[in-house]
């Protein structure tokens, strides 16, 4: 049996956000449909189901039987769907800067409004992205992040927004997670604050909580060394080599 690490990227980026974490043994980071080099989702909606099936295809292509699944933000939503579909592929789980709950009606409507704007105006997030970084991020990081967003097709971003708007509530799944789990949040996350993500660690049996000081929503980019250290420690806990 071959094990490894599956890294699932955030919205509205692609797998390049994981460059600092990809030097681990059998680590893979697929682009979700429409992002990076991946073909767009059919039907114009990137549902979490479609994202999970993309991850399963990537595991099969890499010859990986079981992996520690690490999803950040939207990647966490996909990880929950992957758990529902293929929990036998999990050696462990890392939920970073994400939440289990579905969107409120107001939040879902805001995503649909954004998708409509993306359809009519193009990639409006390139210059006005959501608060992905802390109030005091490392110098030059915003330029890198905006550059990655600029390279994503507006249609892909819109499809992901629509898919997240219709995602199910994963809170009932938390007590069913029976693999070693690490919940990561960060003090400077302006998008999914720690008080929203941290309680998942109390709802998942045996889960551990780590809080990264100062970092924002994209905690692996603002503190790549600290984030990578957490991954390595959790891989060891799960019996998966670094």
SS3 for the chain, per residue? Answer: CCEEEEEECCCCCCHHHHHHHCCCCCEECCCCCCCCCCCCCHHHCCCHHHHHHHHHHHHHHHCCCEEEEEEECHHHHHHHHHHHHHHHHEEEEEEECCCCCCCCHHHHHHHHHHHHHHHHHCCCCCCCCCCCCCCCCCCCHHHHHHHHHHCCCHHHHHHHHHHHHCCCCCHHHHHHCCCCEEEEEECCCCCCCHHHHCCHHHHCCCCEEEEECCCCCCHHHHCHHHHHHHHHHHHHHCCCCC
CB 179 within 8 A of CB 106: no
pLDDT in tens, 12-24: 999 999 999 999 8
pLDDT for the residue numbered 242: 63
pLDDT in tens, 32-52: 999 999 999 889 999 999 999
pLDDT for the residue numbered 28: 98
Q: Report the predicted TM-score, pTM, of the whole model to 2 decimal places.
A: 0.97
Looking at the domain that runs over 3-237, which CATH code has it been given?
Answer: 3.40.50.1820
Q: What are the extents of the domains in the chain?
A: 3-237
Whether residue 197 has pLDDT greater than 80: yes
pLDDT in tens, 180-189: 999 999 999 9
Cβ count within 10 A of residue 159: 26
Tell me which residue of 58, 100, 59, 66 sits closest to 81, measured CA to CA: 100
pLDDT for the residue numbered 2: 85
pLDDT in tens, 50-89: 999 999 999 999 999 999 999 999 999 999 999 999 999 9
């Amino acid at each position: 049996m071959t094990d490894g690490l599956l890294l699932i990227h955030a919205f509205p980026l692609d797998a390049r956000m994981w460059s600092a974490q990809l030097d681990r043994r059998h680590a893979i980071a697929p682009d979700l449909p429409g992002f990076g080099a991946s073909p767009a989702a059919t039907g114009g909606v990137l549902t979490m189901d479609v994202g999970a099936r993309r991850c399963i295809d990537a595991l099969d292509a890499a010859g990986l039987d079981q992996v520690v699944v690490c999803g950040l933000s939207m990647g966490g939503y996909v990880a929950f769907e992957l758990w529902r579909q293929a929990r036998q592929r999990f050696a462990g789980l890392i939920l970073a800067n994400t939440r289990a709950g579905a969107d409120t009606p107001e939040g879902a409507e805001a995503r649909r409004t954004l998708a409509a704007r993306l359809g009519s105006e193009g990639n409006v997030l390139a210059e006005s992205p959501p608060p992905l970084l802390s109030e005091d991020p490392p110098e030059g990081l915003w330029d890198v992040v905006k550059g990655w967003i600029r390279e994503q097709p507006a249609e892909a971003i819109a499809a992901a927004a629509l898919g997240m708007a219709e995602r199910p509530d994963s809170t009932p799944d938390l007590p069913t997670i029976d693999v070693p789990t690490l919940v990561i949040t960060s003090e400077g996350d302006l998008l999914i604050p720690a008080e929203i993500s941290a309680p998942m660690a109390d709802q998942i049996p045996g889960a551990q909580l780590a809080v990264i000081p100062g970092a924002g929503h994209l905690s692996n980019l603002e503190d790549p060394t600290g984030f990578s250290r957490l991954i390595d420690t959790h891989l060891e806990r799960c019996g998966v080599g670094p």
